[in-house]
Structure 1
Amino acid sequence: MGSLGDNRIQLSKTQFVTYYHTDLAKAERFLLDFGFEVAAKSDDGKVIYYKGYGVEPYCYVSRLAPDSEPHWGGAAFLVPSRDELEKAASVVGGATAISKLDGPGGGEMVTLTDPVGHKVHLVWGIEERKALAAPTNDSSLQKLVINYADEKPRVGRGQRFKPGPAPVHKWGHYGVSYAPGTYQKMYDFYTGTLGLAVSDVVTIEGKPAVAFFHIDHGLGYTDHHSFYMKPAKENEKLDVAHSAFEVHDFDVQQLSHNYLESKGYKLSWGVGRHILGSQIFDYWYDESGFEVEHYADGDLVNSETEVTREELTPHSMYIWGPERPAVRG
């Protein structure tokens, strides 16, 4: 991971995100329809852990907002050893002490605060579940055999699909906003303090504005981005932009899009395909107003993958799909 002699806090993978909701029951209805399963609930009912069908015991934590205001609770990355937790707690300014995690699988955590106030949790020692070949609530998912115009390997059988939620596999990435003038501080924190590496940069009037980062495993391939940052508009609250969750494939994603539409949930943007990262996207607003994404078919990159730098245009973020809304959460 990273380079030899690297003093950054090394990261292994994405683990979970945390959101605070004012109505956990209302949030639960949406999250189940979005494709999560409940992994566990706290005895007092103020915390609900949601899982996908990956090895993580949970990938989304829903907490009751203590101040009657929904808010972002930060993202958690797994580190490769307890030594990384100890290093973070001792050398990163403002880091918390090591504490126990209460969720399924146990483990320990250190919380950092980035230059504009966003929380980043580092976790270790969480016991993983056995990898599942398919979601427990839908054993019909399979890797499709595709008939192309000049190559048709699927003969004598059709494609059959099951309408409903798109079972979540894992939490894949998130983004946050930053204040004007703090781009470089944010960039330095995420690539200098944490083991992230830049994948692509989008400029506005020639200046870096939006940046996508992958977990730095050197020559090892990882998701195109696990984190991104974008500039906040004037007087806009610094907040999470969205969290994205991987699903099986495009068909499952489109079926879920139709399902969420039939339930009356609020669409943000989709379905379409991004340019940077290549993934097929579908953005929705949950019942608290947070934006969450289903994605499929994303790129993998390593330290030898070319880093692109391009100017922001109306179509720089997607190659096909509906027109991008002027304002997104």
Structure 2
Amino acid sequence: MIRFLHHVGLSVPDLEVGRAFYEAFGLEARVSGEHLVLRCKGRGQDQIRLMPGSPKHLSYVAYGTDAAGMKQVRKNLKSHNVTLEDAPFNIDSKGIWFRDPSNDWVHICEGVEAPAAPRPTPEVNTHGRYRRIGQRACDLTSSSRIATPLRLGHLIKFSPDMDKSIAFYTQVLGMKVSDRAGDILGFLRFGCGGDHHALGLAKSSHSGLHHLSFEVMDIDEIEMGAQSLMAKGYISAFGLGRHVGGSNYFHYIRDPWNSLVEYFWDIDVIPEDDSDWVVLNAAGPHELAAVWAVGPPKEDFAHNYEVPDGAEQGPSMALNEALAHG
């Protein structure tokens, strides 16, 4: 039913601090009323909307679908007694708004996913498939190159009830489980096929954003982007490495409010006809974390830093403990 990830809305205490970080990350910013909208260079689709608010928190996630998908979503929401609500933010938006089992806002609109800006694919020489002949892969100019993200590929957010959340996104919105680790971590993809996961769910005492993940062209761009951000004072949280769940290469960097952003490349793709795909149900999230990585994740890698109402700080959660004891 839902077919693609459109964009994510975040409330942050300082829009200009957000602008500085995400422009350093490689996105382009523009003002939209009282908000700041960020896009990938040359791609005609919002990827992040920053809105004034304190403390920082995940405000909503927007997905796209076609007319048939929208009709089925409306039918499923009604049959599961999910209430449609007025747009909760000062946004000129079309589509429908409702809350998921974690009480997070979800926005669905009709549309077509915008293509990424065309870029030449870097050639890679592997044994028996030599494509780059008489040409350097790297030269002196590449050292100053920064990452240019192509698209927002996925997000992982926290949920206090994994089974209920997974049931909602699969039964009501038509997603499918790609891999999971019991009731601690789950990776969901769109039913129409595509990336191994567009949405990840991680167990916590309360909702919140763990990370946003942007696709780049190759492993070099992952690390050049990460190194560029670290040179500006931003903190590395985990990487360089390669995941098991999704198989993608990765590097995670802390944003100014302790959520994470990830550069990724070479993710598993699952077709709509997915009869041959075998879902892993790992003993723990550590089994899905990394085939290899440069060092372990920082101790707070899986900490939920978003503050629930009435609390002073986000408590550590099950995913953090499971990774630590893996």
Is TM-score (shorter-chain normalized) higher than 0.5? yes
| CA apart distance, 1:29 | 0.4
Counterparts of 1:164 and 1:151, CA distance in 2: 26
| Residue in structure 1 matched with residue 297 of structure 2 by the alignment | 324
| Residue in structure 2 matched with residue 166 of structure 1 by the alignment | 147
146-155 or 23-32, which moves further after superposition? 146-155
Taking structure 1 as reference, are residues 131 and 276 closer, same or farther at Cα in structure 2, changes over 3 Å only? closer
Asked if 1:223 is matched to 2:204, the reply is: no
| Residue in structure 2 matched with residue 20 of structure 1 by the alignment | 11
2:61 to 69, 72, 75: 75
| CA apart distance, 1:183 | 2.6
| CA apart distance, 1:86 | 5.0
Asked if 1:275 is matched to 2:244, the reply is: yes
Contact 1:35 1:168 in 2 (8 A): yes
Counterparts of 1:62 and 1:198, CA distance in 2: 29
Contact 2:12 2:57 in 1 (8 A): yes
Q: Which digits, 9 at most, give the CA deviation of each residue in 1:112-132, with x for residues without a partner? A: 211121222112247x76752
Which stretches in structure 1 are left out of the alignment for 5+ residues? 1-9, 135-141
Aligned residues: 292
Taking structure 1 as reference, are residues 164 and 73 closer, same or farther at Cα in structure 2, changes over 3 Å only? farther
Counterparts of 1:280 and 1:130, CA distance in 2: 22
Contact 1:35 1:166 in 2 (8 A): yes
Taking structure 1 as reference, are residues 158 and 306 closer, same or farther at Cα in structure 2, changes over 3 Å only? same
Counterparts of 2:151 and 2:23, CA distance in 1: 14
- Aligned with 2:298: secondary structure? coil
Which stretches in structure 2 are left out of the alignment for 5+ residues? 304-326
Matches within 5 A, 1:59-208: 59-65=47-53, 68-81=54-67, 83-84=71-72, 86-87=74-75, 92-97=81-86, 102=91, 108-125=94-111, 132-134=117-119, 142-160=120-138, 161=142, 163-179=144-160, 182-203=161-182, 208=183
Q: Which digits, 9 at most, give the CA deviation of each residue in 1:21-61, with x for residues without a partner? A: 111011100000111112x3124xx2011111464421111
Taking structure 1 as reference, are residues 75 and 313 closer, same or farther at Cα in structure 2, changes over 3 Å only? closer
| CA apart distance, 1:154 | 2.2
Contact 1:89 1:96 in 2 (8 A): no
Q: Which digits, 9 at most, give the CA deviation of each residue in 1:173-225, with x for residues without a partner? A: 1122222xx3321121111111101101113xxxx3211110001xxx31100
1:293 to 247, 256, 262: 262
Q: Which digits, 9 at most, give the CA deviation of each residue in 1:71-109, with x for residues without a partner? A: 111211102125356547755512224799956xxx513
Contact 2:226 2:253 in 1 (8 A): no
| Residue in structure 2 matched with residue 311 of structure 1 by the alignment | 283
1:214 to 189, 197, 206: 189
142-151 or 75-84, which moves further after superposition? 142-151
Taking structure 1 as reference, are residues 224 and 30 closer, same or farther at Cα in structure 2, changes over 3 Å only? same
- Aligned with 2:297: secondary structure? coil
Taking structure 1 as reference, are residues 188 and 152 closer, same or farther at Cα in structure 2, changes over 3 Å only? closer
| Residue in structure 2 matched with residue 6 of structure 1 by the alignment | none
- Aligned with 1:108: secondary structure? coil
Contact 2:97 2:106 in 1 (8 A): yes
Counterparts of 2:89 and 2:227, CA distance in 1: 40
Counterparts of 1:13 and 1:129, CA distance in 2: 10
**Structure (1/2) with the larger helix percentage:** 2
For 2:257, the aligned partner's letter is: S
Contact 1:22 1:69 in 2 (8 A): yes
Taking structure 1 as reference, are residues 291 and 98 closer, same or farther at Cα in structure 2, changes over 3 Å only? closer
Counterparts of 1:154 and 1:116, CA distance in 2: 49
Counterparts of 2:88 and 2:285, CA distance in 1: 44
For 1:224, the aligned partner's letter is: H
Taking structure 1 as reference, are residues 89 and 102 closer, same or farther at Cα in structure 2, changes over 3 Å only? farther
| CA apart distance, 1:111 | 1.7
Contact 1:108 1:125 in 2 (8 A): no
Asked if 1:254 is matched to 2:240, the reply is: no
| Residue in structure 2 matched with residue 36 of structure 1 by the alignment | 27
Percent of residue pairs bearing the same amino acid type: 22
